[in-house]
């Protein structure tokens, strides 16, 4: 799981209905984050079972001086992918002393609110909000400095991509960098099944509520008639693909409908059998050496990595390969 904001894609209804029509139906995890979904995710990060957020924060706090030394000279262009409330990146400001901070997330209006608060704390730092669904294609405006760009991608959000998708995404980031650029990224590591599954299926049922709330947002965006009571949350570790999968599973036979909208917009009538699932999220887990190899294949060289004492999570600083 990773925090983002509601999607501004041109046709969210069309995207959602196309996923629900697929032979193996799915909904993109970016649609988790309506107002309630965002609050539920914040609650998830406070759960005992959900280790990623606090583990990454502890690594970053302990390694700030080493991150500064490994990066080198101050004055980077810090580009925060999936910035949200910008708090994670703001903890780097003292160590990296950026010349410009660029916050990228799906909702530009939300980012502007976050930056208004941040500018009061750091009035001398130039800041820019970029509203973009960067998981599709990242476009940076001309106002973003080219010099010493450092992409910051925390929270193991890279795990929402399959390894092939992650390689393509990272290669795309490399294309925005000169030889003085780099990447600071958080990666969730492989660990025992019980720990992984508990993090995505907690005893209090907060993650279940988060997953089921997706149906309310789909109803709002696509005009469907999902009843969350017809569905249950399922999360499990797929060892063969080294990933947690989250699904919504039909408790009983159910037909989901959405009316046609306009002359050319299709509606939906999809029958789900008991036990049939809608795939809502992947969260890939890596061995450190495997992720370093993935970075290499995407045009980066891992310079230094930091992990917690249990080896559950890693923060990696990578430099762009010289072209």
Q: How far apart are CA 33 and CA 45, in angstroms?
A: 14
Strands (E), 154-214: 182-188
Distances (CA, A) of 239 to 158, 195, 283, 284, 312: 18, 13, 12, 10, 16
Q: Which two tokens stand for residue 131?
A: 């509203």
Where does the pLDDT of residue 8 fall: very low under 50, low under 70, confident under 90, or very high at 90 and above? very low
**Where is pLDDT greater, at 107 or 230?**
230
Residue 126 has pLDDT above 50, yes or no: yes
Residues 228-287 pLDDT 10s: 999 999 999 999 999 999 999 999 999 999 998 765 568 899 999 999 999 999 999 999
Q: How far apart are CA 251 and CA 273, in angstroms?
A: 9
Residue 9 has pLDDT above 60, yes or no: no
Q: Please tell me the pTM assigned to this model.
A: 0.90
Cβ(181)–Cβ(147) below 8 Å? no
């Amino acid at each position: 799981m990773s925090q983002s904001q509601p999607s501004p894609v041109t046709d969210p209804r069309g995207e959602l209905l196309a996923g629900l029509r697929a032979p193996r139906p799915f909904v993109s995890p970016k649609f988790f984050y309506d107002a309630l979904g965002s609050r539920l995710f914040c609650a998830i990060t406070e759960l005992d079972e959900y280790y990623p957020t606090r583990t990454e924060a502890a690594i970053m706090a302990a390694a700030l001086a080493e991150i500064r030394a490994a990066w080198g000279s101050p004055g980077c262009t810090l580009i925060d992918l999936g910035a949200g409330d910008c708090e994670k990146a703001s903890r780097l400001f003292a160590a990296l002393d950026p010349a410009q901070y660029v916050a990228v997330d799906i909702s530009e209006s939300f980012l502007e609110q976050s930056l208004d608060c941040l500018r009061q704390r750091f009035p001398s730092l130039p800041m820019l909000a970029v509203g973009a669904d960067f998981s599709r294609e990242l476009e940076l405006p001309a106002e973003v400095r080219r010099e010493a760009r450092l992409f910051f991608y925390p929270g193991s959000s890279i795990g929402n991509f399959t390894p092939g998708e992650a390689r393509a995404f990272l290669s795309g980031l490399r294309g925005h960098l000169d030889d003085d650029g780099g990447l600071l990224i958080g990666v969730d590591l492989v660990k025992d099944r019980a720990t992984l599954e508990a993090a995505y299926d907690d005893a209090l049922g907060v993650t279940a509520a988060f997953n089921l709330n997706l149906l309310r947002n789909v109803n709002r965006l696509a005009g469907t008639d999902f009843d969350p009571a017809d569905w249950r949350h399922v999360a499990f570790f797929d060892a063969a693909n080294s990933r947690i999968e989250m699904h919504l599973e039909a408790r009983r036979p159910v037909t989901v409908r959405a009316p046609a909208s306009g002359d050319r917009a299709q509606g939906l009538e999809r029958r789900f059998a008991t036990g049939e699932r809608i795939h809502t999220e992947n969260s890939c887990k890596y061995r450190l050496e495997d992720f370093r190899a993935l970075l290499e294949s995407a045009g980066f060289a891992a310079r230094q990595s930091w992990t917690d004492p249990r080896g559950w999570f890693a923060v990696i600083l990578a430099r762009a390969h010289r072209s």
